[in-house]
Chain A
Amino acid sequence: ETGVTQTPRHLVMGMTNKKSLKCEQHLGHNAMYWYKQSAKKPLELMFVYSLEERVENNSVPSRFSPECPNSSHLFLHLHTLQPEDSALYLCASSQGLAGLYNEQFFGPGTRLTVL
């Protein structure tokens, strides 16, 4: 595997289910990100991890719980979601925090549907 991978690619869940999204980066980066992309809306930054510590939490509801056990893996744990949480969830990584001169590498995303 190369780059940034995400599993599963598609997920359908009920509002009472608990599921997890997984992201893995094979680039040796030390920062990882979760974004949400809803239909007809810009990408929204959800969480930022740098050196496995959370450095950004953009007012995301507690039903989304991130976990970064090491610099290569990032999880997004989901519980009691709402239908409006249906979206494409994108993971990204960078060497150092992005925004100055470090580019982000994105995964293909997980298409989540909440019934």
Chain B
Amino acid sequence: DAKTTQPNSMESNEEEPVHLPCNHSTISGTDYIHWYRQLPSQGPEYVIHGLTSNVNNRMASLAIAEDRKSSTLILHRATLRDAAVYYCLPSRRNKLVFGAGTILRVKS
């Protein structure tokens, strides 16, 4: 399984964009890149996923490097409700292997 490296924690101001990086240098050509987040006292929640092209949805954008060895989750305007642990998961078939993730703190 591909290994991931994420910062332990990041801090953002409310209403500002946040770029959450993830390094997955051992990713294979068929692994999708998933992002999930876990709010306090809740189960994880799907955010976005992609294979090669950049992706946008109502929650966030995903920028994938051309060599696919890294990706960046972009929250365009952070709110206090975005404070959570964000997980980057290169995955295949039924394997979603969670790492330690990045704790995002949002300051008002």
Q: Is B100 an interface residue (CB 8 A)?
A: yes
A90-B44, A106-B44 given; A100·B93 CB < 8 A: yes
Q: Is B95 an interface residue (CB 8 A)?
A: yes
Given A99-B93, A101-B32, 19 extra CB contacts under 8 A: A4-B43, A31-B94, A35-B98, A44-B98, A50-B94, A90-B43, A90-B44, A92-B43, A97-B94, A98-B94, A99-B91, A100-B91, A100-B93, A103-B34, A103-B46, A103-B49, A104-B46, A108-B41, A109-B42
**Residues A1-50 near B (CB distance < 8 A):** 4, 31, 35, 42-45, 48, 50
A42-B101, A100-B32, A101-B32 given; A106·B45 CB < 8 A: yes
Interface footprint category on A:
20 to 34
CB distance from B15 to the nearest CB of A (A): 27
A92-B43, A106-B45 given; A99·B92 CB < 8 A: yes
Alpha-carbon distance between A107 and B41 when the two chains are bound, in angstroms: 11
The 8 closest A-B pairs by CB, nearest first: A106-B43, A103-B46, A97-B94, A43-B98, A99-B91, A42-B98, A99-B93, A106-B44
Is B91 touching A98 in the complex (CB atoms < 8 A)? yes
CB distance from B1 to the nearest CB of A (A): 10
Question: Closest residue to B94 on the A side, CB-wise?
Answer: A97
Is A42 touching B32 in the complex (CB atoms < 8 A)? no
Alpha-carbon distance between A97 and B98 when the two chains are bound, in angstroms: 16
CB distance from B31 to the nearest CB of A (A): 9
Q: Is B80 an interface residue (CB 8 A)?
A: no
Q: Is A75 an interface residue (CB 8 A)?
A: no
